[in-house]
Amino acid sequence: DVKVTQSSRYLVKRTGEKVFLECVQDMDHENMFWYRQDPGLGLRLIYFSYDVKMKEKGDIPEGYSVSREKKERFSLILESASTNQTSMYLCASSSRTGGAYDEQFFGPGTRLTVL
């Protein structure tokens, strides 16, 4: 059973703080993703990684960075948190067998509030 875990369910930070969101998967998946989920906007891809130390920008990378030092772990970093980054953040992973067909498995989400 695929397990994707996220370090926190709820997080409250202050404007300007550096924020780390951690995601770990235990299925040896090559691909990992970070999304933010906002009402009326759906899921928007922030960054994804298809291998260790590799990263690709998604649709809304501004204000975020990522790190993938180990295959199982993908970190999202908010260099200087701002109130418009208050959101639900979802991590996902998938294997890379045929490209487009692979199911993405999601973590429980981290609800981040920036005050």
Instruction: Give the residues lining the site for other proteins (CB under 8 A).
Output: 31, 33, 35, 40-45, 48, 50, 56, 58-59, 90, 92, 94, 96, 99-109
**Minimal distance, residue 62 CB to other proteins, in Å:** 17
**Minimal distance, residue 80 CB to other proteins, in Å:** 26
| Closer by beta carbon to other proteins, 13 or else 58 | 58
Q: Which of 81, 106, 99, 84 is nearest to 30 (CA)?
A: 99
| Closer by beta carbon to other proteins, 85 or else 93 | 93
CA distance 76 to 84: 16
**2 within 8 A of 91, measured Cβ to Cβ:** no
With H, G, I as helix, E, B as strand and everything else as coil, classify residue 3.
coil
| Closer by beta carbon to other proteins, 81 or else 89 | 89
CA distance 6 to 21: 7
| Closer by beta carbon to other proteins, 55 or else 81 | 55
With H, G, I as helix, E, B as strand and everything else as coil, classify residue 32.
strand
